[in-house]
């Protein structure tokens, strides 16, 4: 075989191989947009192979003209291939660039637009985000001139168009915030920033800008403005002085602050707080104390003294809290309350309290002395009364046994037999009564003086012992006493014992004789208090008496000789000294309930 034929065979095989590869990869090549290139190369391969085939098959002689023509234009196929490649590359790069730009423009949260230079700002392009922002599809913006102006808020139209015109004239950036009416009629706040795009000669071509939704920001600003207004009104109207300091320099003060200090706002602002303190020591003390509290608890409260502009020293209560807990240098807000009057009142109150205590002590000693001294005199009266009574008896016996009966006037006889004994009986009964009263007063006097020995008391044992000691009276009254389990309490056992003795004694004393007496003692613990109740089915207490029965010497029926009106008064006194409470619930004819509440812890 001729060596040239081998190379032509190689050439022919390579062309066939290319053909196969092209056909196999055509799907992908077609999709990637290189179809022109492929078609060109394919045609070249086919045609040239065809020419070779013609030459070697011997047909070329008959189709010589065709082979020559095809062979001559072969370079043109290559030219076509290179040109197609360049076009394809440019086309693909442009498409990629456009895709990038479009992605950038249409994926940002902003709306990008191009507007004509007419007065209505008609849109030539607007990115699709506008539909999400205002509800109108982009084509509506582009097809209707003046669409933008038509959807501006009526109150903003004039201002916005004026600003647009002004920026065009001044060749400056158009920046404007305005409201637009969305498709669903709600108001959207927009910030519009646009610039005029010019050609190389400086001629304006169009406006290019961005829109972004600032509704949330506007709402926040409005909310902030209202909040600021509220704070300002509080600041102005507050009945206490309010101010802001930074590094102890006054930054802002309200009118009340000026009123308290006597300085004007201008005189205080920018000055060190030192000017308000009478001494450097006081100033430093407040600083140390207040800032220590702030760093510990976040707020600081200090009582101090200030010196007014007129030199008067006043007492103030300062409360401070930092604007930013982490950084005190930003500022500390403080309130100043003028407590001068309160301090003076407290001083007066303390003085009066001291005087009252002294008077009470004096009164108690007078009461004790009077009771004691009166009682000793009463013993004399009682003693001599009995002596006179005995003497009267002697005189009456002597008159009865002597012969003088006929000689003694009838009046003398009546006096010794009736009047004098009756008078002496009254005197003696009164001395007994007065003795009991004085004993009661002495009791109360001793009660006031006695110290309270606070201990936990087993009330079950204490009430049980009390009932046992009164067993005789219980049997005399034919009463039945039920005692439930009682909670313990804190108190002085002897004094609390007296409380229950008095209450049980009273219950027995005022039982209803028409029915069997029943006394029920029970209790419970709640809210740190032990509450006890002594309930009876006695005669009961009318509502009008219920508040008075704890008063000293008060008796339901003074004609009945059932005591001196001191028992419940003493009980009430003891309970009060234990920080407890006593009260009664009663109904006439049904009985009474006496409640005692004492601390359980």
Question: Closest CB to another protein among 93 and 560?
Answer: 93
Residue 17 makes contact with another protein by CB under 8 A: yes
Which one among 43, 59, 76, 150 touches another protein, defined by CB under 8 A?
76
Which one among 1, 35, 40, 41 touches another protein, defined by CB under 8 A?
41
Residue 404 makes contact with another protein by CB under 8 A: no
Picking from 317, 315, 319, 304, the residue whose alpha carbon sits closest to that of residue 345 is 315
State in angstroms the smallest separation of the CB of 24 from another protein. 5
Return the number of other C-beta atoms located less than 10 Å from residue 253's C-beta.
Answer: 26
Picking from 26, 48, 38, 50, the residue whose alpha carbon sits closest to that of residue 81 is 38
Which one among 1, 61, 62, 72 touches another protein, defined by CB under 8 A?
72
290 burial (CB, 10 Å; 0-12 / 13-18 / 19+) is buried
Task: Report the alpha-carbon distance of residue 386 to residue 439 in Å, rounded.
Answer: 21
Which one among 33, 43, 59, 82 touches another protein, defined by CB under 8 A?
82
Which one among 59, 69, 217, 551 touches another protein, defined by CB under 8 A?
69
State in angstroms the smallest separation of the CB of 80 from another protein. 9
Encoding tokens for residue 340? 């001068």
The CA distances from residue 398 to 99, 393, 401, 579, in Å, are 150, 8, 5, 64
Residue 324 makes contact with another protein by CB under 8 A: no
3-class SS shares of the chain: helix, strand, coil, % to 5: 55, 20, 25
What is the DSSP pairing of strand 479-483 with strand 517-526? parallel
Residue 33 makes contact with another protein by CB under 8 A: no
Task: Tell me the three state secondary structure of residue 136.
Answer: coil
Piece of the chain touching another protein by CB under 8 A; list 9-17, 233-241, 456-464, 576-584: 9-17
Beta carbons of 529 and 597 less than 8 angstroms apart: yes
Assign 3-class secondary structure to 410-434. HHHHHHHHHHHHHHHHHHHHHHHHH
Which one among 33, 59, 78, 132 touches another protein, defined by CB under 8 A?
78
Which one among 15, 126, 196, 504 touches another protein, defined by CB under 8 A?
15
Which one among 59, 86, 363, 454 touches another protein, defined by CB under 8 A?
86
Which one among 33, 43, 59, 68 touches another protein, defined by CB under 8 A?
68
Question: Closest CB to another protein among 22 and 240?
Answer: 22
Which one among 33, 43, 59, 75 touches another protein, defined by CB under 8 A?
75
Residue 89 makes contact with another protein by CB under 8 A: yes
Residue 398 makes contact with another protein by CB under 8 A: no
Question: Closest CB to another protein among 7 and 101?
Answer: 7
Give how far the C-alpha of residue 399 lies from the chain's centroid of Cα atoms, to the nearest Å: 95
Q: What is the DSSP letter of 328?
A: G
State in angstroms the smallest separation of the CB of 46 from another protein. 13
Question: Closest CB to another protein among 26 and 368?
Answer: 26
- CA 444-445-446 angle, to 5 degrees, is 90
Q: Look at the block and give the residue holding tokens 């009318």.
A: 542
Residues that bind another protein (CB under 8 A): 3-4, 7-8, 10-11, 14-15, 17-18, 21-22, 24-29, 41, 68-69, 71-76, 78-79, 82-83, 85-86, 89-90
């Amino acid at each position: 075989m001729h060596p040239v034929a081998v190379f032509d065979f190689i050439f022919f095989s390579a062309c066939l191989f290319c053909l196969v590869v092209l056909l196999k990869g055509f799907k992908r090549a077609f999709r990637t947009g290189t179809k022109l290139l492929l078609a060109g190369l394919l045609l070249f391969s086919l045609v040239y192979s065809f020419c070779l085939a013609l030459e070697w098959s011997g047909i070329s002689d008959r189709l010589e003209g065709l082979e020559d023509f095809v062979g001559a234009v072969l370079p043109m196929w290559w030219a076509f291939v290179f040109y197609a490649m360049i076009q394809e590359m440019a086309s693909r790069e442009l498409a990629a660039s456009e895709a990038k730009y479009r992605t950038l423009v249409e994926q940002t949260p902003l709306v990008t637009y191009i507007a004509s230079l007419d007065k209505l700002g008609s849109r030539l392009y607007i990115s699709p985000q506008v539909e999400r922002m205002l509800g109108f599809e982009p084509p509506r913006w582009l097809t209707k001139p003046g669409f933008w102006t038509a959807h501006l808020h009526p109150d903003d139209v004039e201002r916005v168009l004026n600003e647009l015109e002004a920026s065009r004239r001044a060749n400056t950036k158009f920046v404007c915030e305005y409201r637009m009416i969305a498709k669903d009629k709600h108001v959207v706040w927009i910030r519009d920033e646009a610039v005029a795009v010019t050609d190389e000669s400086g001629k304006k071509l169009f406006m290019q800008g961005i829109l972004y939704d600032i509704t949330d920001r506007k709402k926040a600003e409005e909310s902030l403005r209202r909040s600021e207004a509220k704070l300002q009104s509080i600041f102005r109207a507050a009945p206490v002085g309010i101010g802001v300091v930074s590094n102890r320099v006054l930054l802002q003060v309200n009118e009340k602050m000026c009123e308290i200090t006597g300085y004007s706002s201008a005189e205080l602002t920018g000055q060190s707080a030192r000017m308000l303190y009478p001494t450097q020591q006081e100033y430093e003390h407040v600083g140390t104390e207040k800032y220590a509290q702030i760093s510990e608890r976040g707020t600081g409260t200090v009582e101090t003294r200030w010196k007014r502009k007129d030199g008067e020293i006043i007492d103030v209560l300062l409360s401070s809290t930092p604007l930013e807990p982490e950084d005190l240098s930003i500022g500390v807000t403080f309130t100043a309350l003028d407590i001068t009057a309160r301090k003076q009142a407290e001083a007066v109150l303390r003085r009066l309290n001291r005087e009252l205590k002294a008077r009470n002590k004096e009164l108690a000693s007078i009461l004790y002395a009077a009771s004691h001294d009166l009682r000793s005199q009463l013993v004399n009266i009682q003693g001599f009364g009995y002596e006179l009574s005995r003497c009267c008896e002697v005189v009456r016996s002597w008159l009865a046994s002597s012969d003088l009966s006929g000689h003694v006037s009838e009046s003398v006889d009546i006096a010794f037999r009736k009047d004098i004994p009756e008078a002496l009986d009254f005197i003696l009964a009164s001395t007994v009564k007065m003795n009991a009263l004085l004993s009661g007063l002495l009791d109360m006097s001793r009660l006031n003086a006695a110290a309270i020995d606070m201990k936990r008391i087993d009330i079950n044992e204490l009430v049980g012992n009390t009932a046992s000691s009164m067993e005789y009276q219980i049997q005399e009254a034919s009463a039945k006493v039920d005692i439930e389990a009682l909670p313990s309490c804190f108190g002085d056992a002897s004094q609390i014992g007296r409380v229950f003795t008095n209450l049980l004694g009273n219950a027995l004393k005022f039982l209803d004789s028409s029915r069997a007496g029943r006394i029920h003692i029970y209790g419970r613990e709640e809210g740190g208090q032990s509450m006890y109740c002594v309930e009876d089915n006695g005669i009961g207490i009318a509502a009008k008496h219920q508040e008075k029965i704890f008063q000293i010497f008060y008796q339901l029926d003074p004609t009945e000789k059932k005591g001196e009106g001191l028992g419940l008064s003493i009980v009430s006194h003891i309970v009060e000294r234990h920080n407890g409470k006593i009260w009664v619930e009663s109904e006439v004819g049904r009985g009474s309930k006496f409640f005692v509440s004492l601390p359980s812890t």
